[in-house]
Amino acid sequence: MRLDKFLCDCQIGTRSEVKKIIKAGRVTVNGTTPKTADIKIDEAKDIVCIDSKTLKYEKYLYYILHKPAGCVTANKDNLHKTVMDYMPNECKKDCSPVGRLDLDTEGLLLITNDGKLSHELLSPTHHVSKTYYAKLDKPVPQDAVRLFKDGIDIGDEKPTLPAELDILDEDFPSARLAIYEGRFHQVKRMFKAVGCEVTYLRRETFGSLTLENLPKGEYKKITINEITGITETTK
């Protein structure tokens, strides 16, 4: 990798800015001050410092965002704030959300620049569990537990995959639902199929990832080990 690209990927500055930094002698590679920006380095082995501070290169970035309602799951949008507006600058260049949450849906969203992982997690052959907490306009019928477990018709060519429903409260109708696929408006359509309208929806888990105590609108950088935990939950 070229030195200037390495510095850009580390969010030191634009290509022209990092060339000036290199020319000013502020950068060292393995203790030596390079004269040009186009020298090749091994990002996995070489020690690159700026102003004597060692830079850590990360090929892939992984974040959890507690998405608030009112923003769209997209990199850009002309009408609404996007989830990327909540993310740090290092994340905005190459990262994208994995899947999507509706405009009015809150909760856990994974954001990364690891395209291969994103494809695997969204593939129909990798049934990653996703758990949602829902408030409803009326009590959920008791037979919905069986209907969801068997797979329910929501108007698509095929019924949904088996899902796990836990009815939480009938006086203040709410439920928790675990699904293993990601169809368009799936959770809302599943509840509608048993006569209920979703009035509030929050995704609580994605595979092995959880929101824990992450405040709404905040993000957390996670490790590759935590990401591996997701893939281990696939079927």
Question: What are 40's strand-pairing partners?
Answer: 2
**Contact by Cβ (8 Å): 163, 180:** yes
| DSSP-assigned letters across all residues of 112-155 | ES-HHHHHHHHSTTS---EEEEEEESSPPPTTHHHHHHH----S
Q: Token match 């965002």: residue? A: 65
From the candidates 46, 77, 85, 102, give the one annotated as an active-site residue: 102
**Any catalytic annotation for residue 166?**
no
> From CA 212, how far away is CA 229, in angstroms rounded?
16
Q: What is the DSSP letter of 231?
A: H
Q: How far is CA 200 from the centre of its chain?
A: 20
In sequence order, what E strands does the chain have?
Answer: 27-29, 48-50, 53-54, 62-67, 71-72, 81-82, 96-97, 106-112, 130-136, 164-169, 174-179, 198-206, 209-210, 219-221
Instruction: Let me know if 160 is exposed, middle or buried by CB neighbors in 10 A (0-12, 13-18, 19+).
Output: buried
Which residues participate in catalysis according to the annotation?
A: 102
